[in-house]
Amino acid sequence: MRNPASVPKGMEVFVCGEFRNLEDTKPRNMFDNLLDLVKQNAGDAIINNPAIPNQHNDDAINTAGNSIMNTLTQQASGGNVNQIMSLFQNGATQNNPVMSSITNNVSGDLAQKFNLDSNAANGIAQQLIPQVMNQLVSKTNDPSDNSFDLNGIMGALGGSGGIGGMLGSFLK
């Protein structure tokens, strides 16, 4: 059998009864899937927003994704486990302190990195974050969607030990 790395780019393989591009068969991690959600929802908030020049769209999407992940990690290590669990198990994205922290941190990171005024950065975050987080929660709770699961999310936030390990034990 050939080494997959030696297969030419664009080569299709037969997987699970269908042909797929070889690049599509690589395992994805939670952060890649989160970035995909940010990209899917970046339309008016980032891509069509004149406050973010087009050449910086990808960087702004990555900044938002990193900020979401960093905020969730900080919240978990800071002891806000109940709020994170509530967010993912109950879909309680409104009036959740974790959501407020994510929105504020994304806004601050975008303002700092792209020299945006606070109103523009807040507008981007308030438009983008609820959409991304609602989809993240929905996908996490959908048994037919394996792009996210609560154990994987909690493990990513705290690793197999520490907070992530404790949370994972509650979910079993």
Q: Is the pLDDT higher at 147 or at 46?
A: 46
Mean pLDDT of 4-15: 51
Does the pTM surpass 0.85? The reply is: no
**Would you say residue 59 has pLDDT above 50?**
yes
| pLDDT given at position 104 | 97
Domain residue spans of the chain? 28-170
Q: Is the pLDDT higher at 3 or at 85?
A: 85
Mean pLDDT of 154-160: 62
Q: DSSP letters of the chain?
A: ---GGGSPTT-EEEETTEEEEGGGGS---HHHHHHHHHHHT-IIIIIT-TTS-GGGHHHHHHHHHHHHHHHHHHHHHTT-HHHHHHHHHH---TT-HHHHHHHHHHHHHHHHHHT--HHHHHHHHHHHHHHHHHHHHHHHH-TT--S--HHHHHHHHH-SSHHHHHHHHHT-
Burial class from Cβ neighbours inside 10 Å (0-12, 13-18, 19+) for residue 91 reads: middle
| pLDDT given at position 164 | 44
Confidence of residue 30 (pLDDT cuts 50, 70, 90): confident
Average pLDDT over all residues of the chain: 79
**Rounded distance, CA 101 to CA 94, Å?**
12
